[in-house]
Chain A
């Protein structure tokens, strides 16, 4: 009798031990790859490491920008300056001609992104849902437009714009967006196409049976429900046209009021004097800071919708 109890107890202990081991294994490795503790830890390490790599230049930019002469010369000061010096920012402000170039950049990128938001949606909707002749051919053209490097078409475009007198005006940056083209226009059309092609058909059919015209269906039914795609396209378009210096550089030769991206490329810090050399880096960083600040602030406010939008657009099917 005692023997039996002993055996039973042993078995019980073993199974208890086994249970503990199993529980520990589940805790560490998880039932799926993403649930275990070890994997969690691994994710955090990798993500924090990469986040640091991403943030490092930004932190460096901000820290260098506010370092005064004494902080720059002091070898013990590495990241955090002992006092905050605003001189570099002031100098960058004037050398970029900030109020003017900010205004130009803001109005250019707002205009082109707002226009692209609608014109690309029209094309994307047509590609996703509507019938028109040679649709496959035009879709191939769309993909081709996406692939083609801007450098291929830029020289003929300069000649073309010179013929019509658009060189040194803002038209070359705005007019193509009216047609759903412009900077990375093809990409936005593709994004909209993906979004519209997964929406249920019933929506537009109901409107069509009511006898609404195709424009009405588009503007009253389809566009309002495209908010996730609109957020994504608007933010991409705004940020990219804000940062773009290539097209403005090509089309604005003699213009005084240039966008920030050009002002940043043109302005060179005074490196003649000794003090200038020491300050050069700080001033460069201050300029960079001033020019990325606006899209950064915009992103901070729209970030939540943007991240959601990316997931909901299904950006790519």
Chain B
């Protein structure tokens, strides 16, 4: 009897979590890891769907070399410009949402109203609606046309860099629309800094400028990292991402290879982000 109880105790101490986590693990194997490996498998095979089932034939690196060396249309003309565009969009989104979150954190009249407005993008930015705004040019900033900034840019920069910048500027408002969740994350993060730190700094005679750079910014670095990662992940679904359009269930092999090229670029990119920001942000959600 006591043995049974001891076994039960050991079980509850070490394995009680299994009961709750098991569904998630099963789901992970079924809906994430299996498709992931199968997609890697398909990228090396030509896949044909027949009445009797799925026929695959090994083709080696053929699709990858097609994408990278022979027929680089999608990769060099669509994907790389998009990634260059993303390179500009990420800092804009992160800095903008940081500023807004710091402002929304102050106490002032009408704060509730402003907060409500600034969460609206979460509703709009994920749907088809935003594509409609994009296609009707609702994302443009008026002054760009007025001072013909885009023509100046195209004159002074090589085309491969000026084009993405012009595209980014032309859809500037919509990029700001994509910062809804990031504002939320920063606002939640700002709550974690206790007000006594600020009081102590004020008693020691630090001016507001110093307080921002020495206290607020360092304490918020983990959230900068988190938001950068979130933004990179979120931009997978940004309208105008060429990968979305090119994934269609007709050519399984070549498409899988293209997605893996894209995925590896994203992973490298995220690795870079972690390397640069991770040092500045010890003890984030991800490392803890």
- Which residues of A come within 8 Å of B, CB atoms? 29-34, 40, 43-44, 46-47, 50-51, 53-58, 60-61, 119, 122-123, 125-127, 129-133, 135, 138, 141, 143-160, 176, 178-181, 185, 189-190, 194, 214-215, 218, 236, 239-240, 242-246, 250, 261, 264-265, 281, 284-285, 288, 291-292, 295-296, 299, 303-304, 306-307, 310-311, 313-317
Measured CA separation A213–B187 after assembly (Å): 37
Contact B127 A143 (CB under 8 A): no
Kindly provide the distance from the CB of B57 to the nearest chain A CB, expressed in whole angstroms: 16
B100 / chain A contacts, CB cutoff of 8 Å: 47, 50
A135 / chain B contacts, CB cutoff of 8 Å: 17
Measured CA separation A141–B30 after assembly (Å): 13
Cβ of B280 within 8 Å of any chain A Cβ, yes or no, is: no
| Closest B residue to A32 using CB positions | B208
Contact B123 A295 (CB under 8 A): yes
Measured CA separation A197–B136 after assembly (Å): 46
Taking a contact as CB atoms closer than 8 A, the residue among B19, B104, B124 that contacts A292 in the complex is B124
Measured CA separation A295–B28 after assembly (Å): 29
Q: Is the interface of B mostly helix, strand, loop or mixed?
A: helix
A145 / chain B contacts, CB cutoff of 8 Å: 28, 32
Question: Can you list 7 residue pairs at the A/B interface with Cβ under 8 Å?
Answer: A33-B212, A153-B32, A178-B23, A215-B19, A250-B249, A284-B136, A288-B132
Question: Which of A34, A51, A138, A218 has most chain B Cβ within 10 Å?
Answer: A34
Taking a contact as CB atoms closer than 8 A, the residue among B114, B116, B187, B198 that contacts A303 in the complex is B116
Q: In the complex, identify which listed stretch (B66-74, B75-83, B259-267) lies at the interface while the others stay far away.
A: B259-267
Contact B38 A156 (CB under 8 A): yes
| Closest A residue to B206 using CB positions | A32
- Other than the given A152-B35, A180-B23, 18 more pairs (CB < 8 A) read A58-B120, A132-B21, A133-B14, A133-B18, A149-B236, A159-B49, A179-B24, A179-B28, A180-B24, A181-B31, A189-B24, A214-B17, A215-B19, A244-B127, A304-B112, A314-B188, A316-B223, A316-B285
A149 / chain B contacts, CB cutoff of 8 Å: 233, 236, 243, 259, 262-263, 266
Kindly provide the distance from the CB of B169 to the nearest chain A CB, expressed in whole angstroms: 14
Contact A243 B27 (CB under 8 A): no
Cβ of B98 within 8 Å of any chain A Cβ, yes or no, is: no
Kindly provide the distance from the CB of B195 to the nearest chain A CB, expressed in whole angstroms: 11
B16 / chain A contacts, CB cutoff of 8 Å: 130-132, 214
B7 / chain A contacts, CB cutoff of 8 Å: none
Kindly provide the distance from the CB of B33 to the nearest chain A CB, expressed in whole angstroms: 8
Contact B54 A32 (CB under 8 A): no
Contact A315 B32 (CB under 8 A): no
Contact B223 A236 (CB under 8 A): no
Kindly provide the distance from the CB of A162 to the nearest chain B CB, expressed in whole angstroms: 8
B63 / chain A contacts, CB cutoff of 8 Å: none
Q: Across the A-B interface, give the 9 residue pairs with the lowest CB-CB distance, nearest first.
A: A179-B27, A33-B208, A130-B17, A243-B127, A132-B17, A153-B35, A156-B35, A315-B188, A123-B24
Given A155-B247, A315-B188, the answer on whether A51 and B119 have CB atoms closer than 8 Å is no
| Closest B residue to A235 using CB positions | B122
Kindly provide the distance from the CB of B228 to the nearest chain A CB, expressed in whole angstroms: 12
User: Contact flags (1/0) for B121-136 with A, using CB distance below 8 Å?
Assistant: 1111011110011001
B18 / chain A contacts, CB cutoff of 8 Å: 132-133
- Which residues of chain B from 167 to 200 have any CB-CB distance to chain A below 8 Å in the complex? 173, 176-177, 184-185, 187-189, 191-192, 198
Contact A57 B188 (CB under 8 A): no
Contact A126 B24 (CB under 8 A): yes
Contact A47 B173 (CB under 8 A): no
Cβ of B88 within 8 Å of any chain A Cβ, yes or no, is: no
Taking a contact as CB atoms closer than 8 A, the residue among B106, B128, B132, B222 that contacts A43 in the complex is B106
Measured CA separation A189–B262 after assembly (Å): 26
Taking a contact as CB atoms closer than 8 A, the residue among B15, B31, B123, B133 that contacts A132 in the complex is B15
Measured CA separation A311–B187 after assembly (Å): 7
Cβ of B156 within 8 Å of any chain A Cβ, yes or no, is: no
Cβ of B25 within 8 Å of any chain A Cβ, yes or no, is: yes
A284 / chain B contacts, CB cutoff of 8 Å: 132, 136
Given A155-B256, A245-B128, the answer on whether A126 and B31 have CB atoms closer than 8 Å is no
Measured CA separation A76–B127 after assembly (Å): 32
Contact B126 A157 (CB under 8 A): no
Taking a contact as CB atoms closer than 8 A, the residue among B99, B129, B189 that contacts A316 in the complex is B189
Cβ of B226 within 8 Å of any chain A Cβ, yes or no, is: yes
Given A50-B176, A246-B237, A316-B185, the answer on whether A33 and B24 have CB atoms closer than 8 Å is no
| Closest A residue to B283 using CB positions | A317
Cβ of B270 within 8 Å of any chain A Cβ, yes or no, is: yes
Measured CA separation A155–B36 after assembly (Å): 10
Contact A54 B120 (CB under 8 A): yes
Cβ of B84 within 8 Å of any chain A Cβ, yes or no, is: no
Contact A53 B54 (CB under 8 A): no
B118 / chain A contacts, CB cutoff of 8 Å: 50-51, 54
Cβ of B286 within 8 Å of any chain A Cβ, yes or no, is: yes
Measured CA separation A153–B260 after assembly (Å): 10
Contact B177 A292 (CB under 8 A): no
Kindly provide the distance from the CB of A187 to the nearest chain B CB, expressed in whole angstroms: 8
Contact A156 B192 (CB under 8 A): no
| Closest A residue to B32 using CB positions | A145
| Closest A residue to B135 using CB positions | A284
